[in-house]
């Protein structure tokens, strides 16, 4: 009796394992790391240093930086970020960083995304105005 129950349990575990291994793998997703609005050089350096340490230990990850704001503000923000990358222990690997200019917004903001291999790249979001319509940059 005990041997038959044990045999049934073992067979069940083997079958469950083979069924589980046949299921489709879960696709990785990009993760929002941090969002910054108006910020100082010190705060940006702190953010970039934390990202450098995090990404340094995980060489397979990519960093997407999406900036939103006016064209002038976007240039200033990109300069602030690139100046902050070269800090203390060396730069981040530039081949793992992708800058994306988002749509025009009144206030500057930056969103940092961590993207694992196989994940879809994050896309800039279009925020709705007070009337519920999205604003699009004219080409």
**From first to last of its 139 residues, what are the pLDDT tens digits of the chain?**
666 666 566 666 665 655 555 567 888 999 999 999 998 888 988 888 888 888 888 889 999 999 999 999 999 999 988 888 765 556 667 788 899 999 999 899 999 999 999 999 999 987 765 555 555 554 4
DSSP summary character for residue 67: E
Q: Report the pLDDT value the prediction gives residue 139, as an integer from 0 to 100.
A: 41
User: Is-contact 49 87, C-beta < 8 A?
Assistant: yes
Domain presence at residue 3? no
Into how many domains does the chain fold?
Answer: 1
Q: Which of 132, 87, 127 is nearest to 109 (CA)?
A: 127
Domain that holds residue 63: 31-115
**Residue 18 dihedral angles phi and psi, to the nearest 5°:** -70, -35
Q: Specify whether the CB–CB gap between 116 and 60 falls below 8 A.
A: yes
Measure the CA–CA gap between 57 and 102, rounded to whole angstroms. 29
Residues linked to residue 68 through DSSP beta bridges, in sequence order? 109
Q: What is the pLDDT of residue 11?
A: 61
CATH number of the domain that residue 65 is part of: 3.30.1330.60
Say if residues 55 and 48 touch (Cβ distance below 8 Å): no
Is the residue at 19 inside a domain? no
pLDDT of residue 129: 58
Question: What is the reported pTM?
Answer: 0.72
> Would you say residue 18 lies in a domain?
no
Q: Is the residue at 107 inside a domain? A: yes
Residue 94 pLDDT: 76
């Amino acid at each position: 009796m005990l041997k038959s129950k044990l045999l049934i349990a073992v067979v069940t575990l083997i079958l469950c394992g083979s069924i589980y291994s046949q299921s489709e793998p879960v696709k990785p997703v990009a993760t929002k790391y941090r969002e910054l609005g108006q910020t100082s050089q010190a705060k940006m350096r702190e953010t970039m240093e934390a990202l450098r340490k995090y990404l340094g230990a995980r060489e397979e990850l990519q960093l997407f930086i999406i900036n939103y704001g006016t064209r002038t503000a976007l240039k200033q923000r990109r300069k602030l970020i690139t100046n902050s990358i070269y800090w203390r222990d060396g730069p981040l690997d530039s081949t793992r960083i992708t800058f994306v200019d988002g749509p025009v917004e009144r206030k500057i903001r930056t969103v940092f995304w961590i993207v694992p291999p196989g994940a879809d790249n994050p896309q800039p979001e279009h925020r709705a105005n007070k009337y519920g319509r999205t604003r699009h940059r004219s080409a």
